[in-house]
Amino acid sequence: MIARRGVLAAALALPLLTSATPVTALVVREQRPGRREFARIPVGQGDIVEFSWIHSVDGTPWTEFYRVAGRELVLDCTEMSLTGAGTPSSAPEVSYSGDQTRMCGLDLTFDAVRWIHSHTVDHRIVVGGALLIGPEAVPHHCRAELAVV
């Protein structure tokens, strides 16, 4: 009888224990004031998040690679076809492949990545090889942000 009570107590306590455990998630949402949420996915420490778009001036692809670190995103690498004003210039590791320049070791920390979403520049966010957000998932010209919560 005592053993059954122990099993029953453990079974009843399990939902309480698991609901108290915080789940880290990556969210794409509207910046203040609305904070509408467009996507949410569980993430773990060290997960890689790819944020890409087509540069509005030169029309070439640009991809940033972030690493989840606690409740922050760390920009590790940037990959682009053209470099110039606004591109990182102090990357410890730079490599070239065809017309692509990859700059790594940037180690820049952000509480959130913010942008004005545009359907015309093909904004995409990929986590673990799976598309989280495509161009149409967020309203055109929405002030959006990517954050770990």
pLDDT digits (tens, 9 = 90+) for 5-61: 554 444 444 444 444 445 799 999 999 877 899 999 999 999 999 999 998 777 889
In which band, very low, low, confident or very high, does the pLDDT at 91 lie, cut at 50, 70 and 90?
A: confident
pLDDT of residue 149: 96
pLDDT of residue 12: 47
In which band, very low, low, confident or very high, does the pLDDT at 137 lie, cut at 50, 70 and 90?
A: very high
Where are the chain's structural domains? 22-148
Rg (CA), the chain: 20
pLDDT of residue 7: 47
pLDDT of residue 32: 85
Report percent pLDDT > 90 for the chain.
64
- Computed over every residue of the chain, the mean pLDDT equals 85
pLDDT: which is higher, 8 or 117: 117
* Sequence-ordered strand ranges (E) for the chain: 25-30, 37-42, 48-54, 61-69, 72-80, 93-97, 100-110, 112-116, 124-127, 130-133, 143-148
The torsion defined by the Cα of 78, 83, 88 and 90, in degrees rounded to 10, comes to: 110
